[in-house]
Copies of this chain bind each other. A is one copy, B any other.
Amino acid sequence: MKGVILSLNPNARIVDITHEIRPQDIAAGAFTLLAAYTAFPAGTVHVVVVDPGVGSSRRPLLLLADEQLFVGPDNGIFSYVIDRESQAAVLHPGAVQPRVLHLTNEEYFRQPVSGTFHGRDLFAPVACALVNGVKPETLGSEINDPVRLRPLTVENRQKDKMRALVLHIDRFGNCVTNLTKDDLTQEMIDGGVRLKIKGKTVKKFRRCFADETDDGATLFAIWGSAGFLEIAATNQSAAQLLRARRGDAILVLS
């Protein structure tokens, strides 16, 4: 993919976000993208290739959101970015809703397009065409039914009893929940909300991973860098301690 990009634009700046998504793990790719994209400048083109459906009828997509561009397969990989940007557009009425295009214009594909590596043959060259100034509108038509994962947002939101879930487990073993500050009242945050997960109750909130308060807690809740509440353990893997997996239910009690 890098060779294709540099062949089309020797001055393209390429940075790697990660190559450590496990095979076929679309949700992990979607979360990693969510955690990274807001830090990138306007005009960045993200090439996202977690693509078990490569070569099948799954559509190749271009997402326009946050003044950035994202190319990749229609398998849910953009789901969380779309969730967040759609929410942002609702909250800030002047803001632009994310738009999704189905990439049908083959003019910029690398021929012959293989059935097994669209990262190289389709997404990388289209990304480079966009960097080179090709207008998104010329690449395909807008669609409104991209594949979506389970929504980011907490579903049964009630004042004193909320059902959340484990959205992602990071390389440190932290269990990232789908709870944001918008889901909790200031009182809940200050008063020590309780999280029930896998038969254990997490009561402590910490501001940082290192235990400065010596509160004796093995497990604690902490606001993670992507804006979600995480369940963590000091210098240990909370996921291992809890035998937690992505999708596990969390009961939030005030």
Q: Is B117 within 8 A of A23, CB to CB?
A: no
Q: Chain A binding site: helix, strand, loop or mixed by DSSP?
A: loop
User: A3 — which chain B residues lie within 8 A by C-beta?
Assistant: 36-41, 44
Q: Is A17 an interface residue (CB 8 A)?
A: yes
Which 10 A-B pairs have CB atoms at the shortest separation, nearest pair first?
A55-B208, A3-B39, A117-B225, A3-B40, A56-B210, A7-B41, A53-B210, A2-B15, A115-B207, A115-B208
Q: How far is the CA of A37 from the CA of B44 in the complex (A)?
A: 26
Q: How far is the CA of A41 from the CA of B2 in the complex (A)?
A: 10
Whose C-beta in chain B lies nearest to the C-beta of A38?
A: B3
User: A235 — which chain B residues lie within 8 A by C-beta?
Assistant: 23-24, 52
A to B CB contacts below 8 Å, 28 in the list = A2-B15, A2-B17, A3-B36, A3-B38, A3-B40, A3-B41, A6-B44, A7-B39, A7-B40, A7-B41, A10-B41, A23-B171, A23-B172, A23-B235, A52-B210, A52-B235, A54-B208, A54-B210, A55-B209, A55-B210, A114-B223, A115-B207, A115-B223, A116-B209, A116-B224, A117-B225, A120-B225, A121-B225
Q: How far is the CA of A14 from the CA of B209 in the complex (A)?
A: 28
User: A37 — which chain B residues lie within 8 A by C-beta?
Assistant: 3
Interface residues of A (CB under 8 A from B): 1-4, 6-7, 10, 13-17, 19-20, 23-24, 36-41, 44, 52-58, 114-117, 120-121, 171-173, 207-210, 212, 222-225, 230, 235
> Which of B15, B171, B212 touches A56 (beta carbons < 8 Å)?
B212
Q: How far is the CA of A172 from the CA of B21 in the complex (A)?
A: 11
User: A17 — which chain B residues lie within 8 A by C-beta?
Assistant: 2
Among A1, A4, A41, chain B packs the most CB atoms within 10 A around the CB of A41
Whose C-beta in chain B lies nearest to the C-beta of A211?
A: B56
User: A41 — which chain B residues lie within 8 A by C-beta?
Assistant: 3, 6-7, 10
Q: How far is the CA of A53 from the CA of B209 in the complex (A)?
A: 7
Q: Could you tell me the distance in whole angstroms from the C-beta of A90 to the nearest C-beta in chain B? A: 23
Whose C-beta in chain B lies nearest to the C-beta of A208?
A: B55
Q: How far is the CA of A181 from the CA of B205 in the complex (A)?
A: 51
User: A52 — which chain B residues lie within 8 A by C-beta?
Assistant: 209-210, 235
Whose C-beta in chain B lies nearest to the C-beta of A227?
A: B114
